[in-house]
C-alpha cells in the first residue's frame, strides 16, 4: 500500500513540474535558462528552481566618499590606502603625507588657492576646504587689482569676480587721459607737453607751453591772425579767434570776394566765412564788362572776340580786321560820315559825332549825298527863324512907344 502511495505522489509531482515551465522569482516569472536580477547572473532550472551568483563590488566607501578599486588617499589622515574587489580596503600603518590636493580634477599644491571665486586651503594629506565669501580682487604680478578692466604690460586685461584674470595680447595704442582718448605720441593737457606711450601709459612735462599749434604752424603766445580773423594764443597752447567772419575765399590760390564767381567753367559761390562751392553744370554765357554774351563770336571795343563754354572769353589783338561801324542798325564804312545832321567818325567799329550841326551837306536816309541847292534850302530854315525873331522885337518896341505917348497925352 505504501508503495502505491509513493508512486502516486511521484506521478503528480512530475505532472506539476511539467505545468510550471519556468521560475517564479519575487513575484516575477522567468523562463528556463539564464536571466539577471539586481545586477546578478541567475539560472532558472527545468524543475522551477533557480539560483544567482553574487554581483562583484568594484568600489569602497570610506568616510562617506566612494573610491574605485585600486590605490587612494585617505580623506582625513592622508594615508595611502588600497580598495579591493568586493569593497574591502586597508591603509598602511605609517602615514604617507600627500603634498597636493585634487580639486575638481586639477592638482593643487598644499597652501592657499582659489576655486570658483572662493579662498580655499589645501592641507597636508590631500584634504582641502574653501571659505564662502567671494573674492573681489586679483593678484596681478604682485599687485592687487580690483574686479574690472585694467592694463598690464601694455595689454588690456580683465579681473573677474573670484580673482581670476586674463589679458588681450594685442598692444594698446591709445591712452585714457582724464576721460578722453589720446593716440600714442605727443599731446597737451592742462597746458603741459605730454606723451602717450605704447601700452596706454602717459606722462606730462610740468613746464608750461608757450606757443600754439595753429593748423600745422607754431604761433607764440599773444595775438595773431588766421584766415582773416583776429586770434589769441594763450599760455598752455589753447587758442581762439574772434567771431567776425571772413569776407573772401581762397579758390585754388586766388582770393575771391563773397558772391558769385566762375571757376573752371562752373558757376560758383563764395560765402561769408571763406567756404565756397561750385555747380557742376557748365556755364554757357560770358560776362563781358557787365553784359551777358552767349557762347560764340561777338565784338567788344572794336575787336573780334569769342565766348567759350565755361564763361571764358578773349578778343583778338588786331583791331584792323573790323572795317565798319554799326550805326542805328546800318553799317557805315571806316572814316567820316554824317548822322542826324552831325559830323561823325567811324574807327574800327567805334564811332562818335560832333555836337554842331552840319551846314555844308547832309545824308539822306538812303545814304546818298544831297545837292548843294537842297542843302541851301535846308539851311534857310534857321535864317528865316531869326528874321521872325527880329520882326517880333521891332513890333514890341513900337507898341511900347505908342503906350508911352498915350500916357503923356492923358497927363497933359
CA dihedral over 183, 184, 186, 187, signed as positive or negative: positive
What are the backbone angles phi and psi of residue 401, rounded to the nearest 5°?
Answer: -65, -45
Burial label for 73, CB within 10 Å (0-12, 13-18, 19+), is buried
Within a domain: 375: yes
Instruction: Examine residue 389 and state whether it is found in any structural domain, yes or no.
Output: yes
Q: State the distance between the two ends of the chain, measured CA to CA, in whole angstroms.
A: 228
51 belongs to a structural domain: yes
- The alpha carbon dihedral of 313, 318, 319, 320 has a sign of negative
Task: Give residue 10's domain range.
Answer: 1-55
- Asked if residue 356 is part of any domain, the answer here is yes
Torsion angles phi and psi, residue 49, rounded to 5: -90, 150
Asked whether residue 245 is assigned to any structural domain, the reply reads no
Residue 118 forms part of a structural domain:
no
Does residue 348 form part of some domain?
yes
> Taking the model in full, what pTM does it have?
0.22
- List per-residue pLDDT tens for the chain, 412 residues long: 444 444 444 444 444 444 557 898 888 898 999 887 775 778 999 888 988 877 677 888 888 888 899 988 877 666 788 998 878 888 876 555 667 888 888 888 888 888 877 788 888 777 888 876 777 889 898 899 998 998 887 788 999 887 888 888 777 788 889 889 999 899 888 778 889 988 788 888 867 778 888 988 999 989 887 876 778 998 778 888 886 667 888 898 899 998 998 887 788 899 877 788 888 777 788 888 888 999 899 888 778 899 987 778 888 865 455 677 888 878 888 889 888 888 898 887 778 887 655 444 333 333 443 333 333 333 434 445 677 788 888 888 888 888 888 888 887 6
21 within domain boundaries: yes
DSSP symbol at 399? H
189-220: burial string, b at 16+ Cβ within 10 Å, e else: bebbebebeebbebeeeeeebeebeeeeeebe
Tally of domains within the chain? 2
> Which own/partner contact pairs does 50-53 have at CB distance under 8 Å and 24+ positions apart?
50/23, 50/25
d(CA 137, CA 131): 15
Amino acid at each position: 500500500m505504501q508503495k502505491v502511495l509513493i508512486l502516486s505522489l511521484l506521478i503528480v509531482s512530475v505532472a506539476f513540474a511539467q505545468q510550471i515551465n519556468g521560475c517564479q522569482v519575487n513575484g516575477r516569472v522567468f523562463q528556463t535558462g539564464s536571466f539577471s536580477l539586481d545586477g546578478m547572473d541567475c539560472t532558472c532550472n527545468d524543475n522551477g528552481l533557480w539560483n544567482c551568483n553574487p554581483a562583484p563590488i568594484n568600489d569602497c566607501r570610506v568616510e562617506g566618499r566612494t573610491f574605485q578599486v585600486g590605490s587612494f588617499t585617505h580623506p582625513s589622515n592622508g594615508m595611502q590606502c588600497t580598495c579591493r574587489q568586493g569593497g574591502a580596503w586597508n591603509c598602511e600603518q605609517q602615514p604617507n603625507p600627500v603634498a597636493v590636493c585634487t580639486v575638481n580634477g586639477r592638482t593643487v599644491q598644499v597652501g592657499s588657492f582659489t576655486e570658483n571665486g572662493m579662498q580655499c586651503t589645501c592641507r597636508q594629506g590631500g584634504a582641502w576646504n574653501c571659505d564662502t565669501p567671494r573674492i573681489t580682487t586679483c593678484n596681478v604680478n604682485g599687485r592687487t587689482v580690483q574686479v574690472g578692466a585694467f592694463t598690464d604690460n601694455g595689454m588690456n586685461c580683465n579681473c573677474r569676480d573670484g580673482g581670476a584674470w586674463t589679458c588681450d595680447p594685442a598692444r594698446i595704442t591709445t591712452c585714457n587721459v582724464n576721460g578722453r582718448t589720446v593716440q600714442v605720441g605727443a599731446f597737451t593737457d592742462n597746458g603741459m607737453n605730454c606723451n602717450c606711450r605704447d601700452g596706454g601709459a602717459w606722462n606730462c612735462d610740468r613746464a608750461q607751453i608757450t606757443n600754439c599749434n595753429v593748423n600745422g604752424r607754431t604761433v607764440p603766445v599773444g595775438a595773431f591772425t588766421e584766415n582773416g580773423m583776429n586770434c589769441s594764443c594763450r599760455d598752455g597752447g589753447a587758442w581762439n579767434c574772434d567771431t567776425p567772419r571772413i569776407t573772401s575765399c581762397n579758390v585754388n590760390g586766388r582770393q575771391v570776394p563773397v558772391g558769385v564767381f566762375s571757376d573752371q567753367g562752373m558757376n560758383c559761390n563764395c560765402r561769408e566765412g571763406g567756404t565756397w562751392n561750385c555747380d557742376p553744370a557748365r556755364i554757357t554765357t560770358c560776362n563781358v564788362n557787365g553784359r551777358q554774351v552767349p557762347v560764340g563770336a561777338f565784338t567788344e571795343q572794336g575787336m573780334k572776340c569769342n565766348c567759350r563754354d565755361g564763361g571764358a572769353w578773349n578778343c583778338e589783338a588786331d583791331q584792323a580786321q573790323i572795317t565798319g561801324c554799326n550805326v542805328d542798325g546800318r553799317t557805315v564804312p571806316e572814316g567820316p560820315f554824317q548822322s542826324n545832321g552831325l559830323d561823325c567818325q567811324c574807327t574800327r567799329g567805334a564811332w562818335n559825332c560832333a555836337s554842331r550841326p552840319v551846314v555844308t551837306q547832309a545824308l539822306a536816309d538812303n545814304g546818298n549825298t544831297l545837292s548843294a541847292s537842297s542843302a541851301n534850302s535846308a539851311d534857310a530854315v534857321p535864317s528865316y527863324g531869326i528874321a521872325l525873331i527880329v520882326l517880333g522885337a521891332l513890333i514890341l518896341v513900337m507898341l511900347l512907344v505908342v503906350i508911352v505917348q498915350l500916357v503923356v497925352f492923358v497927363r497933359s
